Amino acid sequence: MKKNYTELRAEEDNFYLNKMMKSNEILYSKGNNDECHTPNYAVFPIVEYIPKDAIIWCPFDTQDSRFVKEIAKKNKVEFSHIDTGQDFYKYEPEKCDIIISNPPYTNKRKVFERCIHFNQPFALLMSNTWLNDAAPKQLFMQRDLQLIMFDKRIRFECDGIVNNKITFGSSYYCWNFLPKQIIMQTFDIAKNLSKELLFL
């Protein structure tokens, strides 16, 4: 049976609505790398860019986090974590100048959206593969994305075990934090680790 104009328009609207919902599902999709912890050598490079007297908020960190331990050597650190009832999406400290952490891979777009909303400088560790997605282009269309990129992959500690089979590189995705847009750095990892382990 031939469809009239109104039916055809409704069908078209439904088609685009479905398409939008599907692309939102991808943009806000879940991952399973959420409990991987950052080693010291991946925190050192960020510490040197932290201005004296700046208060740092580490929103995905407990007192055991290497971010908290290393940054606290020079700066005041506010740290919070979902396990202590401080959900990043609801909680914010009274005072913070810069946000620094390795956020969960799940909902990374929402994490960046909230950091941008705070309008404070930030540096968040994220996989390089995220650059393939539409999200960072959309989020940083109107503001300069800054990156610290590394010559080696970070071997995160997942469930207490150092992952020697990391398949992706990571960078600090920053805003209003670095002295220039892209900084390439080498990791100063203990020399006794073999090249194979470091994925050189």
Q: Which residues of 78-95 are buried (b: 16+ CB within 10 A; e: fewer)?
A: bbbbeeeebebeeebbee
Report, in Å, the least distance between residue 71 CB and ligand SAM.
11
Dihedral of the CA atoms 131, 135, 137, 143 (nearest 10)?
-110
CB-CB contact of 168 with 127 (8 Å)? yes
What is the Cα–Cα distance from 128 to 169, expressed in whole angstroms? 6
User: How remote is the C-alpha of 149 from its chain's centroid?
Assistant: 13
The DSSP-derived string for 14-50 is HHHHHHHHHHHHHHT---S-TTEE--HHHHHHHHTTS
Q: Under the rule (CB under 6 A), what is the footprint of ligand SAM? A: 34-38, 59-61, 65, 67, 81-82, 87-89, 101-104
Nearer to ligand SAM by Cβ, of 21 and 55: the residue is 55
Nearer to ligand SAM by Cβ, of 15 and 89: the residue is 89
CB-CB contact of 158 with 110 (8 Å)? no
- DSSP label at residue 114: H
Nearer to ligand SAM by Cβ, of 60 and 122: the residue is 60
Nearer to ligand SAM by Cβ, of 30 and 143: the residue is 30
Nearer to ligand SAM by Cβ, of 159 and 196: the residue is 159
Report, in Å, the least distance between residue 80 CB and ligand SAM.
6
